[in-house]
Amino acid sequence: MNWFIDCITKKNYANFNGRARRKEYWMFILFYIILAFITIIIDKMIGSPLVITAILVSALFLPSLAVTVRRLHDTSKSGWWVLLQFIPYIGGIIILVFCVMDSTPGSNQYGENPKGL
C-alpha cells in the first residue's frame, strides 16, 4: 500500500523524472486494479453508469502515466515509449514486456538505480 501512496503523493503525482523499480510499478498497478474493482462494484450497487469508476480513473491518470514513464526510465528507455499503448493489442504487449524487464544495472541517463538506494 505504501508504494501506491508514494505514487499519488504531491512529490510523485506527476513526476516523470527518475526511475521506478518493478516493485513500485507493479504495486501501484495492483492497488489501482483493486480500487477499480471496488468502484465498479459500488457503481453497480447504486445503479450509476460507472461514474465513481470514471472519477477514479481520471484522478489516477497522471500518476499511472508518471509511474509507467519512470519504469521505462529504469529499463533505459525514453518515456515517449509509453505512446505505444495507443497501438491496439501489440502496443500494450510491448509496454508490458518493457515493464517486466529488470532494471538497468548502475546509473543511467535517468538517474541512479533505485535498487541500490
List, for residues 30-67, the tens digit of each pLDDT value. Answer: 999 999 999 999 999 999 899 999 999 999 999 999 99
55 located within any domain: yes
What is the residue range of 39's domain? 2-100
Query: pTM of the prediction?
Result: 0.89
Residue 108 lies in a domain: no
The mean pLDDT value for 83-94 works out to 92
Answer yes or no: is 73 within a domain.
Answer: yes
- Is 51 inside a domain boundary? yes
Query: At 117, is the pLDDT very low, low, confident or very high (cuts 50, 70, 90)?
Result: low
Could you please report the per-residue DSSP string of the chain? -HHHHHHHSTTTTT--SS---HHHHHHHHHHHHHHHHHHHHHHHHHT-SSHHHHHHHHHTHHHHHHHHHHHHHHTT--GGGGGGGGSTTHHHHHHHHHHHSPPPSS-BTTBS-TT--
Please say if the pLDDT value at position 99 is more than 80.
yes
Asked if residue 114 has pLDDT above 70, the reply is: yes
